[in-house]
């Protein structure tokens, strides 16, 4: 069948590692014998590529074992996306067995989150400079470069030339991002780095929706076999999905800006809030939070508009600082979270608007679990303190004269201090001294309890 399509010679033949012997050896023997002549021995296959298996529960995933899961079924799981699965595969060598475990998924989520954060940083820079600066133009023309980028390009090329060593290539990208994060790069350098990373992850299949905008129609390799810069000059600085959906951007960006302004004003006011100034901020945001057409009343506009309406109500009621800040927190932690959007508050900078990814969800889940644990512990301590208080109150109710009226003693003086024990023996001087101290302490506690009751 293969010979019918490809003829007497095939350059690359792939298959699972279990087909190496005897299946492929048998193919090779038969086809070489068939195509060889007295004057020429036909190799038939120039290169075999034997891939590692996907594993599940320690076993090879296969139909015969009925332990397989289809890609379509896998993508129905909330923790898996097409990008995260591809990252999992790239983090493993093509010729090694790969089992998609919880640890691998966490590693893929961490790698993806790291790249997301860098792309968001680049987008922040692009927005701040409107995408056009003299510095960025000079970088665009190739007049500037920085050593880290050239080193990363070289390392990536070497890794891919070494039997498509994608784990090393992925680590190379991650290390490059770490170096960029730890270095005071210029804006242009950051944008240049982001463009390069975007191009590589797109080549790796991690940006399917953005392939044409990044690679163009004719991305090619140069004569030396290196991944050359395409004739198509892409200015794309991030992969698809790093920003919130386009339909969400107008209302959510506007609501986030309003929230930033309100929080800044409230936090700087200390005690005396300027409610007139707060009212003007919400009025100014009115036009940007309204849909362009009456029919466009989607969930994003509805959520943003409701936030503004709630702010206006609190401001009109001259609500305390705590309530206004709490509303801002609820907008971030409840309402936007339900829309798969997260606001990352930053000191002295506008909040970063970003989609919720697996890493952020995990971090927020841990934070919420810790908050629940802390609240539970706090409630437990409060209950214990209340129990102790009630016990103290019950003890404080006892009149000093009644404190020692029990079976341990048989006789008492006028104050109620015991003079004889239950057997009729006279209380010793040392014991009486202790009893007097207890009597005086109870007298003091009882009098304080009476004063507290009179106050109530």
In angstroms, rounded to a whole number, what is the distance separating the alpha carbons of residues 82 and 72?
A: 10
In angstroms, rounded to a whole number, what is the distance separating the alpha carbons of residues 400 and 391?
A: 16
Angle between helices 275-284 and 299-316 (to 10 degrees): 160
Least-confidence region, from 24-28, 41-45, 285-289, 295-299: 295-299
**Structural contact between residues 201 and 237, judged by C-beta atoms closer than 8 angstroms:** no
> What residues have CB less than 8 Å from 139, skipping those under 6 apart?
188, 189, 191, 192
3-state secondary structure of 146: coil
- pTM given for the model: 0.72
The partner residues of 16 in beta bridges, in order of sequence, read 51
Question: Residue 218: what pLDDT?
Answer: 53
The mean pLDDT value of the chain amounts to 87
3-state secondary structure of 396: helix
**Structural contact between residues 176 and 104, judged by C-beta atoms closer than 8 angstroms:** no
Q: Please list the helix, strand and coil fractions of the chain in percent, rounded to the nearest 5, in that order.
A: 60, 10, 30
Cα 434–Cα 440–Cα 443 angle in degrees, nearest 5: 140
DSSP 425: P
pLDDT per position as a tens digit, 196-252: 999 999 999 999 998 988 988 654 445 554 545 544 567 899 999 999 999 999 999
pLDDT over threshold 60, residue 135: no
pLDDT per position as a tens digit, 367-399: 889 999 999 999 999 999 999 999 999 999 999
**Structural contact between residues 256 and 351, judged by C-beta atoms closer than 8 angstroms:** yes
Instruction: Report CA dihedral (405, 408, 410, 411) to the nearest 10 degrees.
Output: -60
pLDDT more than 70, % of the chain: 90
How many residues in total does the chain contain? 456
Least-confidence region, from 108-122, 165-179, 226-240, 338-352: 226-240
DSSP 226: -
3-state secondary structure of 46: strand
Instruction: Report CA dihedral (75, 78, 82, 87) to the nearest 10 degrees.
Output: -130
- Burial of residue 66 (number of CB atoms within 10 Å: 0-12, 13-18, 19+): exposed
Compute the average pLDDT of residues 132-158: 67
**345 φ/ψ angles, rounded to the nearest 5 degrees:** -70, 135
In angstroms, rounded to a whole number, what is the distance separating the alpha carbons of residues 207 and 245?
A: 15
């Amino acid at each position: 069948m293969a010979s019918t399509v490809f003829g007497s010679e095939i350059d690359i033949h792939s298959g699972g590692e279990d087909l190496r012997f005897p299946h492929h050896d048998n193919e090779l023997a038969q086809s070489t014998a068939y195509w060889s002549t007295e004057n020429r021995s036909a190799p038939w296959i120039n290169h075999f590529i034997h891939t590692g298996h996907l594993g599940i529960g320690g076993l090879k995933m296969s139909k015969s074992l009925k332990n397989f899961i289809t890609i379509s079924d896998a993508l129905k799981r909330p923790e898996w996306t097409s990008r995260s699965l591809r990252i999992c595969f790239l983090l493993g060598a093509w010729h090694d067995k790969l089992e998609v475990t919880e640890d691998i998924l966490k590693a893929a989520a961490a790698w993806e989150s790291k790249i997301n954060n860098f792309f968001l940083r680049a987008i922040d820079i692009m927005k701040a400079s409107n995408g056009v600066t003299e510095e960025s133009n000079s970088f665009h023309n190739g007049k500037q470069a920085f050593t880290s980028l050239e080193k990363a390009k070289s390392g990536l090329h070497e890794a891919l030339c070494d039997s498509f060593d994608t784990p090393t290539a992925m680590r190379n990208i991650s290390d490059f991002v770490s170096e960029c994060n730890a270095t005071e790069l210029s804006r242009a350098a950051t944008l240049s780095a982001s463009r390069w990373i975007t191009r590589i992850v797109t080549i790796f299949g991690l940006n399917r929706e953005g392939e044409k905008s990044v690679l163009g129609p004719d991305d090619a390799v140069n004569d030396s076999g290196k991944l050359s810069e395409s004739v198509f000059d892409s200015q794309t600085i991030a992969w698809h999905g790093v920003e919130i959906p386009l339909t969400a951007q107008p209302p959510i960006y506007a609501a986030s800006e309003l929230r930033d302004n309100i929080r800044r004003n409230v936090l700087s006011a200390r005690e005396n809030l300027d409610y007139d100034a707060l009212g003007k901020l919400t009025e100014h945001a009115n036009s940007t939070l309204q849909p362009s057409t009456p029919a466009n009343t989607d969930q994003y506009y509805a959520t943003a508009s409701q936030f503004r309406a709630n702010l206006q109500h609190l401001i009109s009621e001259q609500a305390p600082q705590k309530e206004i800040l709490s509303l801002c927190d609820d907008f971030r932690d409840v309402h936007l979270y339900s829309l798969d959007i997260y606001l990352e508050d930053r000191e002295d900078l506008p909040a970063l608007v970003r989609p919720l990814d697996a890493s952020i969800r995990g971090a927020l889940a841990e934070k919420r679990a810790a908050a629940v644990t802390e609240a539970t512990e706090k409630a437990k301590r409060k209950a214990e303190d209340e129990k102790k208080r009630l016990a103290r109150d019950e003890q404080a109710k006892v009149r000093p004269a009644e404190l020692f009226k029990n079976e341990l003693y048989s006789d008492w003086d006028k104050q109620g201090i015991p003079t004889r024990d239950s057997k009729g023996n006279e209380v010793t001087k040392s014991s009486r001294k202790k009893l007097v101290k207890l009597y005086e302490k109870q007298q003091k506690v009882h009098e304080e309890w009476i004063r507290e009751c009179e106050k109530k």
